[in-house]
Amino acid sequence: MAPLLLKPEEAAEALAIARTRVYQLMRAGELRSVKIGKVRRIPLAALAAYVERLQGE
């Protein structure tokens, strides 16, 4: 089963961008994330929505 939540590093790899850029996108509210305990994870749906928005630009 594929993971439903990605670590920021995994999201960066999937988007072919730097990990620091993923954190910038999360802080800016452009890439939705969820907090689980002390860590942040990116839902696959949020990653797909971000890519959809990019394609619409």
Domain ranges for the chain, please list them. Answer: 5-56
In sequence order, the β-bridge partners of residue 34 are: 41
State how far Cα 24 lies from the chain centre: 10
What is the tens place of the pLDDT at every residue in 1-57? 878 999 999 999 999 999 999 999 999 999 999 999 999 999 999 999 999 999 987
- Establish how many alpha carbons lie within 13 A of residue 18's alpha carbon, considering only the half-sphere containing its beta carbon: 3
Q: What is the pLDDT of residue 29?
A: 96
- Taking a C-beta distance cutoff of 8 angstroms, is the pair 5, 42 a contact? yes
Q: pTM of the predicted model, to two decimals? A: 0.88
